[in-house]
Amino acid sequence: MSGHGRSGGRPTLEEVAARAGVGRGTVSRVVNGASGVSARTRAAVEAAVEELGYVPNRAARALASNRADAVALVVPEPQSRFFAEPYFSDMVRGVGAALAETDVQLVLTLAGSDRERRRLARYLAAHRVDGVLLVGVHAEDPLPELLAGLGIPAVVSGRRSAAEPLPCVDCDNLAGAAGAVGHLLDRGRHAVATVTEPLDITEEGGRRAMRELLERRPDLDAVFAASDVMALGARRELRAAGRLIPGDAALVGFDDSVAARHMEPPLTSVRQPVEEMGRAMARILLSGLAGEPGDEAVVLPTELVVRESS
């Protein structure tokens, strides 16, 4: 038999075991870092692995351990919103950073339509992933219950209610909003309007909402938008109506995204530590998958970044 066996193909676990003079189960324990193997035996197996150039078959290992070595980041939003809102890309970046030092693969899934949700349900039912990170899930969304029924661990961003049953990571949105409105009142504003989610198309939604607010309350002198992209839509409508920012109407957004810094005038915004939220979600999920105790609820602080728009 040649060093690589099977006519020069990839060496097998059995060939490593034969070279080391041990059983294949012993090789498996050494390769997977399990305990219960003597130092002498471990050294013999490691030498055989080195000599043969053996590379563990991850798919076979995952099958044997009933693990997929993958987690899904599920965003129940349409593509248009996912790519429009910097919040989501920051979340992906944070999750990716937490998984970078592991062997766990990240699977990104958008499920903004009924068809995509049905496809996702089939995918999850096949247990292709070990756990799920749910981002931007709404209170009435059936996904969390689907995951519970399938026995798939999940962590959610943002509490859907005060009785959130899933481990969750959230920002202190209440304090953030209070700080934003307090800032506007401190600046002498009297009629503060709010543009909130969910709106189907965020920037155009912000514009439509602003148009309606101006018709309803032409005396408004401040606007607090639930995202920077919605604030951008509100700004366009204010300008179209001849309102100066901040002279006639102060404007505050939420997220402190790149859009806030490059808006004209630069936008005052509530900064969420979105990347850290993603990292925290991934850490909680990984701890749960490893059977380790972890936080059930993490609330991260926000910060008001004041710029020229207010």
pLDDT above 80 for 236? yes
3.40.50.2300, 3.30.2010.10, 3.90.700.10, 3.30.1360.30: which CATH number matches 173-271?
3.40.50.2300
Place of tokens 């992209």: 229
Mean pLDDT for the chain overall: 85
Bridge partners (DSSP) of residue 252 are: 224, 268
Place of tokens 């965020």: 202
Q: What's the mean pLDDT in 175-184?
A: 96
For domain 70-171+274-300, give the CATH superfamily. Response regulator (3.40.50.2300)
In angstroms, the first-to-last Cα distance of the chain is 77
The string of pLDDT tens digits covering residues 37-95 is 888 998 999 898 888 887 766 555 554 556 668 899 998 887 877 887 788 889 999 99
Distances (CA, A) of 143 to 18, 125, 147: 48, 12, 6
Give the separation between CA 137 and CA 77, rounded to whole angstroms.
8
Give the separation between CA 29 and CA 34, rounded to whole angstroms.
5
Range name among 52-66, 155-169, 290-304 with the lowest pLDDT average: 52-66
Q: In the chain, what's the furthest Cα-to-Cα distance?
A: 88
Give the separation between CA 224 and CA 234, rounded to whole angstroms.
10
Q: What's the mean pLDDT in 187-216?
A: 86
Q: Where are the alpha helices (DSSP H) in the chain?
A: 13-20, 24-31, 39-52, 58-65, 79-84, 86-99, 114-125, 143-150, 173-186, 202-216, 228-240, 258-262, 274-289
Are domains 70-171+274-300 and 173-271 of this chain identical in fold?
A: yes
Per the CB < 8 A criterion, the answer to whether 76 and 111 are in contact is: yes
pTM to 2 decimal places = 0.70
Residue 114 is predicted with a pLDDT of: 83
The string of pLDDT tens digits covering residues 247-267 is 999 999 998 988 899 999 999
**Architecture of the domain defined by 6-56:** Orthogonal Bundle (1.10)
The string of pLDDT tens digits covering residues 21-49 is 988 778 877 876 666 788 899 899 989 88
Residue 153 has φ and ψ, to the nearest 5°, of -60, 145
Range name among 44-58, 98-112, 219-233 with the lowest pLDDT average: 44-58
Give the separation between CA 71 and CA 63, rounded to whole angstroms.
15
Q: What is the DSSP string of 293-304?
A: ---SEEEE--EE
One-letter amino acid identity for 24?
R
Q: What's the mean pLDDT in 91-110?
A: 89
CA-only gyration radius of the chain, Å: 26
Domain ranges in the chain are 6-56, 70-171+274-300, 173-271
